[in-house]
Amino acid sequence: MFFTRRFTTIVILSLQGFLFQVNGDPYAWLENIEGEKALAWAREQNESSQRALEAHPDFGQIHRETLKILQSKDRIPRVSRRGRLWYNFWQDEEHVRGIWRRTTLEEYKQAKPAWETVLDFDRLANDEKENWVYKGVDVLEPFNDRAMIRLSRGGKDASVYREFDLKRNTFVQNGFHLKEAKSDLAWIDRDTLLVATDFGEGTLTSSGYPRTVRLWKRGQSLQNSPTLLEGEKSDVGLWTFTLQTTSGPIGFIRRSRTFYKGEYHYFKKGKTYRLPLPENIRLSGYHSGQILVQLKAQWKVNRGFLPRGALVSLPLNKLLQGSIMPQVIHVPDNRSTITSVHVTTNAILINSMTNVTSRLLRYTYNNGKWTGTSTAENFTNGVLSINNTSPYHEDYTFSFQNFLTPSTLYHVRGSKGPTHKLKQTPDRFDTSDLKITQYWVKSRDGTPVPYFLVGKRELKANGQKPTLLYAYGGFEIPMRPWYSPTVGANWLSRGGVYVLANIRGGGEFGPSWHQAALKTNRYKAYEDFIAVAEDLIRKRITSPRHLGIRGGSNGGLLTGVAFTRRPDLFNAVVCQVPLLDMKRYTQLLAGHSWIAEYGDPEIPDIWRFWEKWSPYHNLSRKQKYPKVFFTTSTKDDRVHPGHARKMVARMKELRHPVLYYENIEGGHAGAANLKQRAYTQALAYAYLLQQLK
């Protein structure tokens, strides 16, 4: 009987492998996100994996410590200034879904501020019998008395928008309301919105985003509102936004032809005007009659060239007349980049980064010229974040942190005014015996790649240290030395080493660093990652037995490639909300929007590349892999949970060890609230300790 069962199993597995190679994907049924069979499969995997990981002796303590950190009352309440009031979204053990609340600056400075609750999302969800998750808010400026609240069912990107009265703290009866969709909107005035949403059949792009923008007047039917701009089905989508000026908001529409290229249209008096700008720019602000533009490629203007990565200004009134008169404000060098641009009444602030640490610049515009100076010079070797800037006032806030320095929030009054400390996060773990080191390693093609290492001051080079390597490497998103209390408490405090790699594909060194790893050059990001792993082993900081990797989303693809290409280097892999099937990714949810990043697998040359790198297609029965831990979310409507589901099913078919956890809600973040986040983190760290210590 045993022999018969075993023989039957072998035949079935062999047949499945044959079908996978010849007839396509035998696990396509797992792409049915909320299908009864697929969800039953996910719950079955959850049960066995949770049982295995919760059994780790440290799981309970990690879970409790993580939840305590995430729900701690002494966290810095992150605030957004709206006129004289400062708003904060807050979650803790009493407010699982969260509350939106506000206070004054003087009250905020107190150790225990008095807050006024504006909207309680736990109460709202209970009253309306909906699984509401707060996803953001758009406030009408400069009046700050109305807002559009964004509500998601279970954490999905698709959301409901509802108008809210900030004086009465109630939803506006018969106010603006958008049904659930991947929408975008912007206030023009109290009675007018620019709206991009699902208007019905034929109004979405292939990526699932809006392809039309309408002008919606109060009291007017949305379906009967006039169309301002319509894109093509092949576009990524259309987006609306405003730039605030001292005379009120200026409306814009961006038509994204690809993820990185598109058109900007200026809105005025019911009409739109396309701005004569290159397709690969980012419109970053407005100051003194000038629009501020970041260049993602070299721009030929008249007889000269403006450099890639530069921030330039152009007079808007001249631009609308077709006259292109750019002025260069700031040009980063080849080890620097601009991470963000912020506008105040009298200046612009450029948050830049050199060798992956922050530097803040302040520029003023006088007599037709820009003049810049460095500011916040005492804050080095870390991350600066600028917030609460506005053309309506000169003051702003900024925070500073690094791997071992908890975030501290400051308030700056005026151009030369004092800097006041507002709040500081308490130490969440002991840093007295830890240090940060930045190393550089040459990738396979000779490109120097930096990485940060956090560990003991006296780190013995014996190859025995449990080491966690993290990276992202995509979409021009830089990985910066943030303070992470959960990494500190759950990993560093247990003797682990933490490594953050700044590989190509990210935004650490500007557009060129990102563009070096696009489409069929994606392998350069993966080679950078492998080079860092090999350098850690070569330095005898760790060894393959004690080296683990972690990444999410695009970083999940990275870790998927890493363990299928070089399983000999790793003994633990945490692969979160990942892309893994690079043959079908464009057909799954928002995947079509990332063609500019990964290329279109329908093009033979593109698929020839990905056929060798796609994790789902490069699993082998003969190869020995580490036991991998995959996590995803049923409610993730950005990266399809089918990627992780199918990868796990395929690995089980090939009899490779694998763990899986699918949060039934949570969206692309993987968790809808702090309790879910703490639990998922505890599973991940229990797994890492199990594999690496």
pLDDT (tens digit per residue) in 257-307: 999 999 999 999 999 999 999 999 999 999 999 999 999 999 999 889 999
CA distance 211 to 291: 25
Question: Can you give the pLDDT at residue 666?
Answer: 84
Question: Can you give the pLDDT at residue 15?
Answer: 42
CA distance 361 to 363: 7
Query: At a CB cut-off of 8 Å and minimum separation 6, what does 296 contact?
Result: 260, 280, 281, 282, 308, 309, 511
Tokens standing for 239?
Answer: 């987006």
Is the model's pLDDT at 20 over the cut of 60? no
CA distance 420 to 457: 32
CA distance 532 to 539: 11
Tokens standing for 552?
Answer: 């999410």
% residues pLDDT > 90 (the chain): 93
Work out the angle at residue 150's Cα, subtended by the Cα atoms of residues 145 and 154, and round it to the nearest 5 degrees. Answer: 150
Mean pLDDT of the region 166-172? 98
CA distance 257 to 252: 16
Question: What residue type is assigned to position 196 of the chain?
Answer: A
pLDDT (tens digit per residue) in 422-477: 999 999 999 999 999 999 999 999 999 999 999 999 999 999 999 999 999 999 99
Question: Can you give the pLDDT at residue 280?
Answer: 95
Mean pLDDT of the region 138-157? 97
CA 11 to chain centre: 44
What residues act catalytically? 553, 668
Question: Can you give the pLDDT at residue 329?
Answer: 98
Could you say which DSSP state residue 626 is in?
A: P
CA-closest candidate to residue 313, choices 332, 296, 295:
295
Average pLDDT score over the chain: 95
Spatial contact of 662 and 41, defined as CB atoms under 8 Å apart: no
Tokens standing for 26?
Answer: 């035998």
CA atoms within 13 A on the CB side of 264: 25
User: Which residues face 551 on adjacent strands?
Assistant: 575
Q: Can you tell me which residue has the tokens 């419109």? A: 283
pLDDT (tens digit per residue) in 557-568: 999 999 999 999
Q: Is the pTM of this model over 0.75?
A: yes
Question: Can you give the pLDDT at residue 2?
Answer: 31
Find the range with the poorest average confidence among 89-93, 128-132, 412-416: 412-416
pLDDT (tens digit per residue) in 502-523: 999 999 999 999 999 999 999 9
> How does strand 419-424 pair with strand 405-412?
antiparallel
Question: Can you give the pLDDT at residue 8?
Answer: 35
- DSSP secondary structure string for all residues of 317-359: HHHHTT----EEEE---TTEEEEEEEE-SS-EEEEEEETTEEE
Question: What residue type is assigned to position 73 of the chain?
Answer: K
Question: Can you give the pLDDT at residue 302?
Answer: 85
CA distance 670 to 647: 18
Question: Can you give the pLDDT at residue 7?
Answer: 35
Question: What residue type is assigned to position 589 of the chain?
Answer: L
pLDDT (tens digit per residue) in 230-263: 999 999 999 999 999 988 899 999 999 999 999 9
pLDDT (tens digit per residue) in 612-636: 999 999 999 999 999 999 999 999 9
CA distance 528 to 558: 11
pLDDT (tens digit per residue) in 218-227: 999 999 999 9
Mean pLDDT of the region 525-543? 98
**Cβ count near 510 (within 10 Å):** 26
> Cis omega (within 30 of 0) on the bond before 615?
no
Phi, psi of 6 (to 5 degrees): -65, -45
Spatial contact of 367 and 414, defined as CB atoms under 8 Å apart: no
Element (H or E) spanning 533, and its range? helix 523-538
Query: What angle do the packed helices 59-70 and 36-54 form, to 10 degrees?
Result: 110
Query: At a CB cut-off of 8 Å and minimum separation 6, what does 109 contact?
Result: 420, 422
pLDDT (tens digit per residue) in 631-653: 999 999 999 999 999 999 999 99
> Cis omega (within 30 of 0) on the bond before 278?
no
More confident residue, 544 or 418: 544
Is the model's pLDDT at 38 over the cut of 50? yes
Confidence band (pLDDT; 50, 70, 90) for 534?
A: very high
Spatial contact of 275 and 282, defined as CB atoms under 8 Å apart: no
Confidence band (pLDDT; 50, 70, 90) for 43?
A: very high
Q: Can you tell me which residue has the tokens 């330095």? A: 539
Confidence band (pLDDT; 50, 70, 90) for 24?
A: confident
Is the model's pLDDT at 3 over the cut of 80? no
Phi, psi of 328 (to 5 degrees): -75, 130
Is the model's pLDDT at 351 over the cut of 50? yes
Confidence band (pLDDT; 50, 70, 90) for 665?
A: confident
Question: Can you give the pLDDT at residue 10?
Answer: 35
Mean pLDDT of the region 379-391? 96
CA-closest candidate to residue 208, choices 637, 553, 643:
637
CA distance 655 to 661: 18
